[in-house]
């Protein structure tokens, strides 16, 4: 059967030149490839200005940046405040990592005691931790064990809900990690997080597919890759002396 390309998924990654410090823009490639393996055409649109936005968006990825680029990244994201608000209200799956997530919040603190206003699109605020965190991060999240690494100066509070409980690492700084608000996910997990945790990618793809009346079906390729990702997660769990 020939699949109509128009029935495929459009995945946008926002400002990858500013927000890709830890390779998190690659989460878009993970989503696209897993969609293709499941028989769904998918394309990635790199959005550097509002003019790059496609007519329809099915999934959104926002990576992390450096504190030196915070003002530039906030101003860039600000040009897309209305589309972002519409995507969030419309249930479009949005994954934001690190500062890309923090800039969508009410605001974030800086090491010198000052703060930067966020766009106020998601509940919560990022506050400075006693010291920078750079280590493995393991999160138990609604039946999934998510692994990655964290490299951040700020924790987070005031989220509607969190991604899960921290089994190892710091996360938000209060025993929880991330933020969830409807179809929005914010996290400190790098890796990229969707490459190391493909089940989370499939949850996002499942939401986007269902919204378009499409079916996401696992393939032999996804099962093979999932097995490798699981083995890598198990190795980390053993190294950290974590039980499954």
Distance CA 134, CA 156 (A): 16
Concerning whether 5 is annotated as a catalytic residue, the answer is: no
Phi, psi torsion values for 23, nearest 5 degrees: 75, 20
Q: How far is CA 187 from the centre of its chain?
A: 6
Strand ranges, E, within the chain: 9-14, 42-47, 59-62, 94-97, 107-109, 115-117, 125-141, 144-157, 164-168, 176-177, 179-181, 184-187
Annotated binding residue 74 = no
172: left (phi over 0), alpha (psi -120 to 50) or beta: alpha
Question: Cis before residue 192, ω within 30 degrees of 0?
Answer: yes
| 5, 48, 152, 190: the active-site residue | 190
Q: Which residues pair with 180 in a beta bridge?
A: 161, 185
| Torsion of the alpha carbons at 28, 31, 35 and 37, rounded to the nearest 10 | 100
Write the DSSP symbol of residue 4. Answer: P
Closest CA to 203 of 148, 140, 121, 143: 143
CB atoms within 10 A of CB 165: 13
- Residue 101 neighbours by CB under 8 Å, 6+ apart: 62, 64, 122, 179, 186, 187
Known binding residues for substrate are 132
Binding-site annotation: residue ranges: 132
Residues forming the active site = 190
């Amino acid at each position: 059967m020939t699949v109509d390309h128009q029935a495929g998924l459009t995945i946008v990654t926002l400002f990858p030149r500013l927000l890709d410090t830890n390779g998190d823009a690659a989460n878009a490639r993970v989503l696209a490839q897993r969609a293709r393996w499941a028989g769904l055409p998918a394309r990635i649109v790199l959005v550097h200005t509002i003019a790059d936005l496609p007519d329809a968006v099915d999934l959104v990825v926002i990576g992390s940046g450096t504190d030196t680029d915070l003002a530039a990244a906030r101003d860039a994201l600000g040009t897309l405040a209305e589309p972002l608000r519409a995507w969030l209200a419309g249930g479009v799956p949005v994954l934001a990592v690190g500062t890309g997530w923090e800039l969508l919040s009410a605001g974030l603190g800086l090491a010198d005691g000052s703060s930067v206003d966020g766009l106020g699109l998601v509940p919560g605020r990022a506050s400075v931790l006693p010291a920078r965190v750079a280590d493995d991060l393991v999160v138990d999240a609604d039946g999934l064990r998510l692994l990655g690494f964290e490299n951040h100066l700020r924790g987070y509070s005031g989220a509607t809900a969190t991604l899960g409980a921290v089994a190892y690492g710091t996360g938000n700084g209060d025993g929880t990690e991330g933020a969830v608000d409807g179809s929005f996910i914010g996290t400190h997990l790098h890796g990229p997080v969707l490459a190391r945790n493909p089940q989370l990618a499939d949850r996002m793809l499942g939401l986007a597919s269902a919204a378009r009346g499409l079916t996401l079906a696992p393939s032999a390729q996804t099962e093979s890759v999932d097995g490798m990702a699981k083995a890598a997660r198990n190795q980390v769990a053993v190294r950290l002396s974590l039980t499954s």
